Chain A
Amino acid sequence: MKKWNKKGGDKVMTLYWFAILFLVAGAIVYMTALYYGKPYDIREIEANFLTNKVADCLSEGGRLVDNWRDIKTENFLQKCGLTFNVEDTEGWKAQEQYYVEVNFRKFDGSSVEKESIIIGNKNLKDFCDKEGVNLPVCSEREFYVLGPRNIGGEDKLKLDTDANTQYIIKIKSIVRKTEKNVQ
């Protein structure tokens, strides 16, 4: 009788240990999945890349590019080699995921006879002054630059009349893509 009881107790303990083992292993798997299952939010980096790309498109060597006045909203993406195409997922095609706004002003604060470049989903702008994880990420940065140096042609030292004009260019880049960066 005593022997039988011992065997029964061992069986119960074995079952118990297996139950605990599965419980602990399951919890560890669940926690790992919970942590690593969340996507990395790279939108800030993407917005920064976009800003850099726009800045590179408009200026070179501390000066505006020669054809900067020809870069307009209509031809901006083409001239700067950008595309706002996104994957056809989460309804992204229906709602643009990017917004870029470029404003030009003179260093002394006066305005420039050049229209701002505005392209992308304008609705995203409204979220920039709000805080929250599930909102689009905004990047707004400025840089100082001089007018273009050359007026073209063979005489590279001949200067544009704009050559010593000082500009501040403000670039606002917004990236939405919330579904794939935040959960």
Chain B
Amino acid sequence: MNTRILVVDDDPGTRRFLSSVLSRKYLVQEASGGAEALQTVATWHPDVVALDVSMPEMDGLEACRVLKSTLARVPPVVIVVSTKASGDDLYRAFESGADDYLIKPIESHDLLSRIHLHVQVRTALANMANVAALDLASELPAIGRTGTRHIAASEDVAAFALAKLAETRENETEPHLARLRDYAFQLMQSLQEEASGQRPLNDKFIANLIRSIPLHDIGKVGVPSNILRKPGRLTTREFDIMKRHTEVGAHVLDWSARYTATESFLAVASDVARWHHERWNGAGYPDGLRGESIPLAARIVAVVDVFEALTSPRPDRLAWSLADARAYIEANTGTHFDPTVARAFLNSFDAMAQIHRHYLPARADIALSESVVPRFAVVAAT
């Protein structure tokens, strides 16, 4: 399949540069303005549009809005390209429906790898949409059964590709996501045991949350690299931009959920992405939710995410010891953390410590690929 990319920029020099990089792998066309871009999208159906923001007549954001709202049932992926990098510009780009954001000057490797991942996600989502339609045809039960397996596989590929997309922006060498997943699983088991036979969490919830974990920080694709990778403390303004990763993430996942079967784990993933920085006492962000109005999935991720952050080294500090991290969780129980969840975490602390030690940095690839690659093989074969 030949993936089509449309490059939109009013400057011929920039257009030529992006085209020649992209044409090594893709079919490429160019447009010099918003109106021309819309026309080309309608007739040529590109998979991805790399869209300059400030152009005379119809600017990039306006073109993006039209493109996302009216043109097609499954509009192309839009990557906004701009020299500006303020948080407001970013926010406006995502509000107008853009899927990603690149800042000029663009590294050719960056451009190619980001587009590659978007194409993977788009293909996986398209598979889901097709199979969901097939499932409705009850007279074809055999296809329906294959279809269900296919959906799960595609969803995992989409989840993994999305998560990788966020990860490419950070210098992650730690098997962060795999460890988080194991902490969360252990924590949910401990919640089950403490409810003395009541099993407050059903299997579906547990499975959905486990699959959501890699996506909790997906919104960081919307945070400029200079903020994301800044070693020291963020300024207030930078932190405000950083905080938006919760809303951007939920937005991306809500969008993805629209193309999937109705009972998708993506709804849980969206809740987790949006609210994993909320606090039990209402002092968190982005919405300042309090107590049980914060979805349980997000309350669970809040505890394990903080624990993982504290016990991992950061550019500007060493990793905390397990004992210090434990003391921190304890001290913030009932203020930052849901007391029931935090207590369950502390009660199974030995198991958490074991998980922490289990993942040496060298195991990162094994840990993630175990859960995803075998299923991906199913998609590739069909």
> Do the two chains bind?
no
